[in-house]
Structure 1
Amino acid sequence: MELLCAERVSPSSAAPAPALASVARAAAPDPVLLRRRVLDNLLRTEERYAVTVNYFGAVQTEVTPHMRRLVAEWMLEVCEDQGCQEEVFPLAVSYLDRFLSTCPVGKSQVQLLGTACLLLASKLREPGSRCLPADLLVFYTANSITLSDLCSWELLVLSKLKWDVAGVTAHDFLPLLLSRLPLRGLVNTDMVHRHAQTFIALAARDYEFTLYSASTLASCSIAAALRGLSLDGHLPRLQELTGIDLDCLQTCLEQIEEMVQNMIEDRAVSAPNGQTREAAGWTPPPSQDKAHSNAATPTDVRDVHF
């Protein structure tokens, strides 16, 4: 059998334009993925990746919810600074919780674990070759870990998760649920989608939201986004789509609204007269030029006595 290819490609078509060569192309939206069977499959599969027990005290004897929140906020800062896909941070936090629910870690290993989870999530959810570089993640920790440590913990996390890293997150439910709500002509669904993504990211920082299923968090984030746009009354329809108890949805929705309200009040108290976070002692993330940037570990994370 002859495998020689005699095709000739002109230089103009072989070399991509410099402006387009560095752009990572993501797949276009596929309407087939919005079918009801996809939603049903996600609802069945999400239980496999759910954390159903309070691992503080039962599994973790040194790590506290406060430490988890600090590391989760740092992970969110890294994702925002690097312009990661919205799905990366919730998936990384899902890895973090699944690992902590099965394997005890020490105080000094929490940020290393979060860094490994970020590396894995970016490899899975970032298009093309845009995943977070390992050496950049080490730099974001103010070089408190080594590249060898990160690679070793990446394999450790994979082994503890049994290499099952294609987890279901609340982001996966957003397009499926939004496409089934009667919103046409009433509101910009893209805006609702963005607001719901923000609520999901904020909720991922707090451990209390970990015990909710991904579909519950997605439904309540959509409901909260619609309420913020003066469109209420869609919670019963979301309950029909997901089969979740209406009281559970109502409780989660109230917690999301309380979380947002508390965050607004905290920002008003901690940053009066338009002061920025830098004035409060927060160290900003580094720019791409590592040689002239400060370390990106938030001050309050470093102040935890590991």
Structure 2
Amino acid sequence: MDLTCAESTNKCIRAVKDRVIFKDERVINNLLNEEIFYVPNCDYFTTVQNDIQPFMRKVVTTWMLEVCEEQRCEEQILPLAVNLMDRFLCTCKIKRQHLQLLGATCLLIASKLRSTNFLPIDLLCAYTDYSVTYDLVANWEQLVLSKLQYKLSAITGYDYIDHVIERCSWSQNHELLRRHAHTLVSICSTEPSLIQTLPSLIAAACLSSAVRGLKLSCQSIAVDEICSMLNVDVTKIDLYINVVDSVVERVANPEGAEKKTKEPAKKPAGYESPTYGQPETPTEVENVYF
């Protein structure tokens, strides 16, 4: 008898899809009913924060995205981390010098909640070029948890993707569609203009954009079915699809008018980061075609 513990390997072992969950309409209904409680309740740039600007959030969330991609984190970590950060900023005023520290702390919390291998504090400090310390991240973890009242299991756009794909005959077993949709959700998490957008609407726009980008034969039927399933007004979906496409275009073509000089996620020379085995690394932006 082989008693080897599969969790000790580098490869992340994923659970088999539960067909009962995907066939039960109450799951999506519960997600739709609960999502409003996890949407940031204000435009904190104008009501709470006086030292934080939208472009600063864009820089930090892009850094968080790069950290997740380089460490091959599971796709749901980034949307949850950004949601935690936005909700915290709605309740607590901070200085701009603390924004990256907050981003690193939220990555730590999100990876603990939704990953088999969480991101170590030492590694996160290294990615900030040691501009933050271990003790700072540990202390801010307690601060974030207290300000959010430990309400951490937020619903994000990622949570809807598999439920829609598994319930539609035109998308089942379409791995490329799933990967593109997950990638678009992650990219949308970095966009300041979508902070207060419902996760179901983001998921519907990302799925619809992925369907059109992959030029599936059932585009019109697919978009209508997605909107119906996620209770989204089909007359408004085109507007949000255009927003998603424009966000991706800016990421894929940084030499455009909105290009900002930035460096990739920093990791000091000589630092040997741990190897993580999460599969299904998000598709590279350059591979998403529209």
Mean Cα displacement is larger for which, 135-144 or 27-36? 27-36
- 8 Å CA contact retained: 2:191, 2:247: no
TM-score, normalized by length of structure 2?
0.84
Gaps of 5+ in 1: 1-11, 272-279, 293-306
**Residue aligning to 1:304:** none
The structure, 1 or 2, with the larger RCO (C-alpha pairs under 8 Å, 6+ apart) is 2
Question: Residues 160-204 of structure 1, C-alpha deviation per residue, up to 9 Å, x if partnerless?
Answer: 1110111111111001111233415xx862111100111111111
- 8 Å CA contact retained: 1:223, 1:253: yes
**Residue aligning to 2:113:** 124
**Residue aligning to 2:277:** none
Shift of 1:253: 1.0
**1:220 and 1:43 mapped to 2: Cα distance?**
15
Question: Residues 92-134 of structure 1, C-alpha deviation per residue, up to 9 Å, x if partnerless?
Answer: 000011111111111111011101100000000102xx10011
**1:283 and 1:254 mapped to 2: Cα distance?**
27
Shift of 1:254: 1.4
The one of 139, 142, 148 equivalent to 1:161 is 148
Question: Residues 243-273 of structure 1, C-alpha deviation per residue, up to 9 Å, x if partnerless?
Answer: 22223322211111122233334357999xx
The one of 161, 166, 187 equivalent to 1:202 is 187
- 8 Å CA contact retained: 2:125, 2:133: yes
Shift of 1:236: 2.0
**Residue aligning to 1:249:** 237
**Residue aligning to 1:228:** 213
**Residue aligning to 1:299:** none
**Residue aligning to 2:52:** 63
The secondary structure found in structure 1 opposite 2:167 is coil
RMSD of the TM alignment (CA)?
2.7
Please tell me whether residue 259 in structure 1 is matched to residue 240 in structure 2.
no
- 8 Å CA contact retained: 1:49, 1:168: yes
The secondary structure found in structure 2 opposite 1:92 is helix
- 8 Å CA contact retained: 1:81, 1:285: no
Shift of 1:222: 0.6
Please tell me whether residue 219 in structure 1 is matched to residue 226 in structure 2.
no
**Residue aligning to 1:4:** none
Amino acid at match of 1:199: L
- 8 Å CA contact retained: 2:181, 2:210: yes
The secondary structure found in structure 2 opposite 1:56 is helix
**Residue aligning to 1:286:** 267
- 8 Å CA contact retained: 1:177, 1:219: no
**Residue aligning to 2:281:** none
Identity of aligned residues (%): 31
Structure with larger Rg:
1
Question: Residues 59-98 of structure 1, C-alpha deviation per residue, up to 9 Å, x if partnerless?
Answer: 1110000110110011111111111000001100000111
1:166-177 equivalent positions in 2, closer than 5 A: 166-177=153-164
TM-score, normalized by length of structure 1?
0.80
The one of 161, 165, 180 equivalent to 1:178 is 165
**Residue aligning to 2:98:** 109
Residues 1:74 and 1:263: Cα distance change in structure 2 (over 3 Å): closer
Residues 1:131 and 1:59: Cα distance change in structure 2 (over 3 Å): same
Amino acid at match of 1:98: R
**1:29 and 1:17 mapped to 2: Cα distance?**
21
The one of 31, 51, 63 equivalent to 2:19 is 31
- 8 Å CA contact retained: 2:177, 2:211: yes
**Residue aligning to 2:29:** 40
